[in-house]
Structure 1
């Protein structure tokens, strides 16, 4: 019981791009214009930051490519992304979290799952529930992953798990699980979620979470249903 009470609160990270037209959600165009796609990306990012803002945490870090805007709520520290591929940027984010809060677990998500709810993270990351786990893995329906958590993150472990990992391909998630297993880590599974990549994903996610900013923004665009198939 004493160990549970002394467990440090987690560091929560969101890795994201500034929602600028032509730079985000390009697979939504068409049917969306670049401006509409950016508006959807902004809504998804705002949903994600709001949800993680309600999850108990010691620190909240937004690992951002670009500049923060009106969508950034209080309580978040903005950390610039490093250069290089996504694998390198993810590894650097965990290294930064480890340096900021040594000994605290860290969990990272992207900006593509606005349907994420606070209990999906708060429950598995609670001090009692996380006992015995070295990592957490959130599978995506496209074969990737939407979340990765490490109970004891270090720059070396992040490099071992992520550097050179093939990203944005159907086998990304399986490759990461192989690396987690090879590192001897006990992995806790998070719910499977759909990333918003293409138009069909957007409609599916909005239908699953109709009360989100993302769903409201999609409805406001009034796109013909057949256009988003």
Structure 2
């Protein structure tokens, strides 16, 4: 495994994590939560989920962290920021891998829809990609049929995402098939639930840490 320990005792794993995110503006994010929630409430949920996700990635052992954003959002100190480009989501994901490719370093991409994700999940994905003789890709399927994380030893493998429809019940399966047909060995990460519906929000909030912004936002609305 490619890792090192800093002078403060922190373990750093070779590789980077990309967070694909959208500026949390009412009416543009989490629209499937409306109803029962209002657009303003949905935007607050999105902002809280994104903040939790950024905190989690900051706590991970990744060498590099990048916010790939649609719109404008302040990244934490020490992060890189790049704009999303492209039309369909699959195209934007492929472009994110291409734009941030770092020779010899694996990349893990996640979204802002799983605020319950932990640094342990992310470190495990990067560690697998850094393991000699290990997988070429790591994939975390979502309970709704999509996926919440994709890690690639070689970012160029993301090009196949351009032809895969997103936000469908078989997006995850199609992605897994594409990776395997490309000759990649794929290690599966735990299945997590994306926050797309009101029921998802409640379930994800219950899995978050007590100090989670997302859990607090959901609790405030339900009180």
Partner of 1:77: 80
Q: Is the 8 A contact 1:11 1:97 kept in 2?
A: no
CA deviations 1:77-106 (Å, max 9, x no partner) are: 1110102100100000000121xx211000
Unaligned runs of 5+ in 1: 224-229
Unaligned runs of 5+ in 2: 5-11
Looking at structure 2, the residues matched to 8 and 202 of structure 1 have their Cα atoms a distance apart, in angstroms, of 31
Q: Is the 8 A contact 2:86 2:95 kept in 1?
A: no
Partner of 2:168: 169
1:28 aligns with 2:29: no
| Residue 40 of structure 1, CA deviation | 0.5
Partner of 2:7: none
Q: Is the 8 A contact 1:8 1:105 kept in 2?
A: no
Q: Is the 8 A contact 1:139 1:193 kept in 2?
A: yes
Looking at structure 2, the residues matched to 4 and 35 of structure 1 have their Cα atoms a distance apart, in angstroms, of 44
**Richer in strand (by share):** 2
| Residue 220 of structure 1, CA deviation | 1.2
Partner of 1:150: 152
Over 3 Å counting, the alpha-carbon distance change for 1:83 and 1:4 in structure 2 is: closer
Looking at structure 1, the residues matched to 164 and 124 of structure 2 have their Cα atoms a distance apart, in angstroms, of 28
Give the TM-score taking structure 2 as reference length: 0.90
Q: Is the 8 A contact 1:53 1:75 kept in 2?
A: no
Over 3 Å counting, the alpha-carbon distance change for 1:33 and 1:176 in structure 2 is: same
Q: Is the 8 A contact 1:54 1:118 kept in 2?
A: yes
Looking at structure 2, the residues matched to 26 and 124 of structure 1 have their Cα atoms a distance apart, in angstroms, of 30
Partner of 2:207: 208
Looking at structure 2, the residues matched to 127 and 139 of structure 1 have their Cα atoms a distance apart, in angstroms, of 16
Over 3 Å counting, the alpha-carbon distance change for 1:222 and 1:58 in structure 2 is: same
Looking at structure 1, the residues matched to 130 and 95 of structure 2 have their Cα atoms a distance apart, in angstroms, of 27
Looking at structure 2, the residues matched to 205 and 95 of structure 1 have their Cα atoms a distance apart, in angstroms, of 31
* TM-align CA RMSD: 1.9
Q: How many residues align?
A: 214
Looking at structure 1, the residues matched to 166 and 142 of structure 2 have their Cα atoms a distance apart, in angstroms, of 13
| Residue 128 of structure 1, CA deviation | 8.6
1:105 aligns with 2:88: no
CA deviations 1:157-194 (Å, max 9, x no partner) are: 221x2011011100101101110110111111111000
Q: Is the 8 A contact 2:62 2:126 kept in 1?
A: no
Over 3 Å counting, the alpha-carbon distance change for 1:24 and 1:128 in structure 2 is: closer
Looking at structure 2, the residues matched to 168 and 216 of structure 1 have their Cα atoms a distance apart, in angstroms, of 27
Looking at structure 1, the residues matched to 130 and 66 of structure 2 have their Cα atoms a distance apart, in angstroms, of 23
Looking at structure 2, the residues matched to 134 and 148 of structure 1 have their Cα atoms a distance apart, in angstroms, of 11
Partner of 2:122: 121
Looking at structure 2, the residues matched to 31 and 43 of structure 1 have their Cα atoms a distance apart, in angstroms, of 18
1:15-94 alignment, distance < 5 Å: 15-69=20-74, 72-94=75-97
